[in-house]
Structure 1
Amino acid sequence: MIDRLATDPQFSSVIDRDHIGVVGFSLGGAAAMEIAGARANLEAYARYCDTYKKWDCAWYAGGRAYVDDRPIAFDKVDLRKIDRARFEQSNLDRRVKSAVLIDPGLAQAYDAQSLKEIAIPMTFINLGSPGTIPAAVIASGLAALAPHASYATVAGADHFSFLPECKEGGAELLKSFGEVDPICNDGEGRSRADIHSDLIDLVREALQLTLKEPS
C-alpha cells in the first residue's frame, strides 16, 4: 500500500515518506503490530487457544462459516500444523514511524523480546474499562514491554464499538441471522457516535505527537 500510494500521481505529492504512521483495529491491529516489528509465536498462540475457547480461538474450533453468503461446514484447525515459519516471520517495515493499535488481535501470541526491540512509538488503545477487556485483545501487557509505548482505554465501549453506527433494526436483523456477538450494542449506555469521537481524538493526538518534526 505504501509503495502504491507513494508512486500514485494522485497521492504521491501529498505523502511525506519520512512521517508515515499506521493505525490498525483488531486483526488490522495485529497487522500493524507486525509492521512495527512485533513477531508472533505459534506455540504461545496454540497454548492460549488450548484453554481459551472464545473470540479468536473460536474461529478454529470447526463448525459453520460462510462463502459467498452461503453456509458451509469446516473442520477444526490444528494451529500446530500451520506454517510456523510464515506465522513467525518478521514483517517489519522501517518506513513506518508510528503505530496506533486499537484492540490488537493476537495479543497473547507476541514474542516478548520482539516487543522490547520495537524502535517506534506505539499507542495502544483498548475499548472498554479494565476488567472488561477480552484476553484476545488486551494490550496493557504489550504496552508494558514496548519501550516507546503509551496505553489508554475508552470507557463505556466494547470491541465492536469501533464499527460504524448500526442502522435502525440492525441489531434485530443480525440476531435473526444467528449472530451472537453484540455488534450493534455498546456498553454503559454510551452512544457509538460519542465513542467514535473519543477514539478519533485519541488517534489524532497520537499521530500528531509521534510524527511531528523533532524540535
Structure 2
Amino acid sequence: MNRFFQIATICGSLLASSAAAQDFQTGLAAFEVIDTSINRPLEGFVWYPTTETEGLATHHGNAVWAGIQAIENAAIVEGRFPLVVLSHGMYGNAMNQSWLASSLAQQGYVVAAISHPGTSTWAREADDARQLWERPKDISRVIDHLLSTSSLHASIDPERIFMAGHSLGGFTAMALAGARYDAAGFNGFCAEYPGELVCGIFDNWNVAKTPEDLAEMAADLSDTRIRGIAVFDLGGTQTFSPSSLSQIKTPLLVFGAPENIDGSGLDLNVESRALAAALPKTNVTYLEPAGLAHFDFLGECTPNAIAILKEEEPDDVYVCVDGGAERRALHTMISNAVTDFFANQ
C-alpha cells in the first residue's frame, strides 16, 4: 500500500467520528505581547470563528507554501470559545500551523501562535536560543494577554484552554504540562548517545551550562490553566526526568511520525514512543499513523515547491516531499484527531 492510500484509509476512519462540521469562516488578526519587565516582545497571529464573508483572501502563503483562506480583522462570532495556543518547531514561525489554526477556528476555537525569539525563522539570536526556559513562558504570556488585555478576551472561555506543539514546540508543550529538565539524566544520555540530534542542539545553543541557567531550566514551568495538550513528533524527551513525566496529570495526545524522508525523521524510540511509555497510561493517547513524516505538521506545499527548493534551497527539499495531496489528507486526519481530543477534555 503506497503512502497516499495509507493516509486515505486513516482519514476515512477518523472522518467518521469527526467532532464538528466547519460552520464558520476563519477570522485572522495580528497581535503582539509587550511586557516592560522583560525584553522579549512576542508577535504572532490569532485565528477565530466569524460569520463574515466579505474580504476572504489567501494569507500566510508564498511560492513554496500554500496559504489559508481567511478574513483579516473580521468580527468574531458572539459567544465564548475554547482557546488553543500553538508552539512551532526549531526555526519555525507563527505561520507554520496556520492550516490547523484555520481548521480549528472554523469549528469554533480561538487559536493563537507566536514566533519564539531565538528559535524562529527570522529571529535566531544565540542568547535568546540559550534561554529555552523562556519558550513555555512565552505560551503562558500569550494566555495572560488573550485573557486580559486582548480585544478577544470576552470571547474566550478561561476554563477551556489547550495547546499544541510541534518538534521543539513539543518540548515546550511538555514543560507546560509539568515535565522537568533533568541535567544529570540528559548528560548521561548524551554521553552514551553523543550523535543524537537533541544533544548537539543543546550543546550548540549552550543550554543550561551555567548554574543560573540550569536553575531556570530545571524550574517548574507548568501552566495549570491548560486542560489538554497535543504533542506533534517532539524532540527532547530525554531532557526530562522520568519521575516528572510519570506524575503529569494533563491529558496528552502524542503523535509520533514514523516516515523517515531523506533522513529527516526523529528516532521515535528515544522521542515520541519513549515519551508515551513514560507518561501515566490513563493520561496519554498515542498515535503513530503510517505515512506521517516530521514535516507533515507544516503547511501544504505548492505544486512548484519542490522545483523552487531544488533551485534555491536544495538542502531543504525534504520539507515538501509528498507535501501536496498526501499532506492535505494527513492534515484532515490530524485536525480531526485534535478536535476530538480537545472536545473530550
Cα pair 1:154 1:195 within 8 Å, conserved: no
For structure 1, which segment, 137-146 or 199-208, has the greater mean C-alpha deviation from structure 2 after superposition?
A: 137-146
1:140 CA drift (Å): 2.2
For residues 12 and 36 of structure 1, the distance between their equivalents in structure 2, rounded to whole angstroms, comes to 23
Give runs of aligned pairs for residues 1-215 of structure 1, distance below 5 A: 1-8=142-149, 10-50=151-191, 51-53=193-195, 55-59=197-201, 76=204, 81-82=209-210, 83-128=213-258, 134-135=266-267, 138-147=271-280, 148-175=283-310, 176-180=312-316, 182-186=318-322, 191-210=326-345
Provide the secondary structure at the position in 1 that maps to 2:266.
Answer: coil
For residues 307 and 198 of structure 2, the distance between their equivalents in structure 1, rounded to whole angstroms, comes to 24
Normalising by structure 1, what TM-score? Answer: 0.77
Cα pair 1:157 1:186 within 8 Å, conserved: no
For structure 1, which segment, 7-16 or 108-117, has the greater mean C-alpha deviation from structure 2 after superposition?
A: 7-16
Cα pair 2:208 2:217 within 8 Å, conserved: no
For residues 318 and 197 of structure 2, the distance between their equivalents in structure 1, rounded to whole angstroms, comes to 12
Provide the secondary structure at the position in 2 that maps to 1:166.
Answer: coil
For residues 7 and 38 of structure 1, the distance between their equivalents in structure 2, rounded to whole angstroms, comes to 27
For residues 305 and 296 of structure 2, the distance between their equivalents in structure 1, rounded to whole angstroms, comes to 14
For residues 43 and 20 of structure 1, the distance between their equivalents in structure 2, rounded to whole angstroms, comes to 33
Runs of 4+ in structure 1 deviating by more than 4 angstroms, as ranges, are 76-80
For residues 60 and 169 of structure 1, the distance between their equivalents in structure 2, rounded to whole angstroms, comes to 35
Q: Deviations over 1:79-130 (max 9, x none)?
A: 5725221222210111111111111221222111101111121111112369
Equivalent residue letter for 1:135: D
Provide the secondary structure at the position in 1 that maps to 2:328.
Answer: helix
1:43 CA drift (Å): 3.4
Distance 1:110 1:9, change over 3 A: closer
For structure 1, which segment, 117-126 or 167-176, has the greater mean C-alpha deviation from structure 2 after superposition?
A: 167-176
Equivalent residue letter for 1:107: T
Aligned residue pairs total 194
Q: Which consecutive residues of structure 2, in runs of 5 or more, have no partner in the other structure? A: 1-141
Normalising by structure 2, what TM-score? Answer: 0.50
Provide the secondary structure at the position in 2 that maps to 1:91.
Answer: coil
For residues 267 and 184 of structure 2, the distance between their equivalents in structure 1, rounded to whole angstroms, comes to 17
For structure 1, which segment, 104-113 or 43-52, has the greater mean C-alpha deviation from structure 2 after superposition?
A: 43-52
Q: Which consecutive residues of structure 1, in runs of 5 or more, have no partner in the other structure? A: 62-75, 211-215
Provide the secondary structure at the position in 2 that maps to 1:154.
Answer: coil
Equivalent residue letter for 1:5: L
For residues 16 and 111 of structure 1, the distance between their equivalents in structure 2, rounded to whole angstroms, comes to 33
Cα pair 1:45 1:106 within 8 Å, conserved: no
RMSD: 2.8
